Amino acid sequence: MRAAAPRAFSAPDLAELRAQVGARSGLPVDEREATAHDGVWAVGDDSLLFAALVAGERPGEQLARGVLLDKWGAAARAGREDLVPQVEPYQDHDGLLYRTALAYHLDIPVAFHGHTGVGKTELVRYLACLLQAPLYRLNLHGLSTTDDIIGKLLPAGAGEVRFQDGLVTTAVRHGGVLLLEELNATGQEVWFSLHGLLDQSRALVLVEKDNEVVRQHPNCRIFSTFNPPEFLTLYPGTKELSTAYLRRWASIRIGFLEREAERALLLRRFPELAAEECRADVEAMLEVAALSQVMLEQSASSFPFVFATGVLHAWARLVPYLGPLPAARMTFYDVLDERLKAVFREQVFAYSTPWDLSALG
């Protein structure tokens, strides 16, 4: 029997890593400079190399690491093409895509946690889009029940009942990327119903369907997201996840983007803001975001506002049509309470922007 081709690679730098992948797989590795922001390279027609520089053992040491994943074929997703997300290019940071691809390769369930708008959902959507995989995305909430996610008995006429799979069961049965959103907004009943899927048995038991055992499809991968529970004022309704439960997931914390990466992403998404006359406004907007993030991290009770990429993009979308301050009002400022408005005016906008603030209410 022929040994399986290697899937995980490491090398002193990214160029050597790509050369190694090319030599070992016998396939051409795309140069694709243009996608350098996501750390993904096409390998032949059907595979992708996800790579990142990862800290080595010694101080300051870095190692390039990569994992090779096959894209889904047309037959595997047949009839489910609409579930493959269409997304804009992702701005990778902190080796997020590599770590997510690695979890995909090893079939490790991952819980992504971080503030609202840092790109948790976008990361998983992007991976599914690159792999051309169907995405089953489920928003959990306080009223979610196992009926909603696992399935329930429904009347089928003539006094008969029929079990209808919930979204989780559908993904587990047929394969796909399963994304459970807001994991800590739901209750224990839902967490417990997923235990079998997350432990070694990797199966769901459909109690209402004569205890049918649905084993995890070889192409099913499980991801979840949650907002940090330590910020109860920011995310009301979220619960502390028990250690026993978290043990069943690997976890990846997603932080705010660094300024350089945030700027590059902003200008790619909104090319009209790259014009010379917009430069000062763009820098001011980035400064507003960065200063707000520092203030949140210093004290979420004095500054209960999360200025992540999501807010910045919503703001940027309106800037070309309204100008920065009216766009800020429409995007986030006008719904703040009076105290937070004053903090934004006097401690954020006044320090980070050259704008005339008299137009702010």
Rounded CA-CA distance 209/48 in Å is 39
- For residue 240, what is the DSSP state? P
**Nearer Cβ to Mg ion, position 131 or 179?**
179
**Nearer Cβ to ligand ATP, position 25 or 100?**
100
**Nearer Cβ to ligand ATP, position 117 or 134?**
117
Minimal distance in Å, beta carbon 121 to Mg ion?
3
Residue numbers 296-315 binding ligand ATP by CB under 6 A: 309-310, 313
Q: For residue 193, which phi and psi values (nearest 5 degrees)? A: -65, -15
227 binds, among Mg ion, ligand ATP, none (CB under 5 to 8 A by kind): ligand ATP
Helix (H) or strand (E) holding 135: strand 135-139
Q: Tell me how many residues contact ligand ATP (CB under 6 A).
A: 16
10 belongs to the binding site for ligand ATP (CB under 6 A): no
Minimal distance in Å, beta carbon 225 to Mg ion?
5
Candidate residues 35, 116, 146, 347; the one interacting with ligand ATP per rule CB under 6 A: 116
> Is 349 within 8 Å of 341 (Cβ atoms)?
no
Minimal distance in Å, beta carbon 117 to ligand ATP?
4
Binding region for Mg ion (CB under 5 A): 120-121
How many other C-beta atoms are found inside a 10 Å radius of the C-beta of residue 159?
A: 6
Rounded CA-CA distance 214/202 in Å is 9
136 belongs to the binding site for ligand ATP (CB under 6 A): no
Structure tokens at 175: 């394969």
293 belongs to the binding site for ligand ATP (CB under 6 A): no
Pairing of strands 176-181, 135-139: parallel
Q: Which residue's C-beta sits nearest to ligand ATP?
A: 119
Residue numbers 21-80 binding ligand ATP by CB under 6 A: none
Candidate residues 47, 193, 227, 292; the one interacting with ligand ATP per rule CB under 6 A: 227
Q: Where are the alpha helices (DSSP H) in 72-141?
A: 96-106, 120-131
HSE of 305, CA atoms in CB hemisphere, 13 A: 23
Dihedral sign for Cα 268, 44, 216, 133, please: positive
Contacts with ligand ATP by CB under 6 A lie at: 90-91, 114, 116-122, 225, 227, 265, 309-310, 313
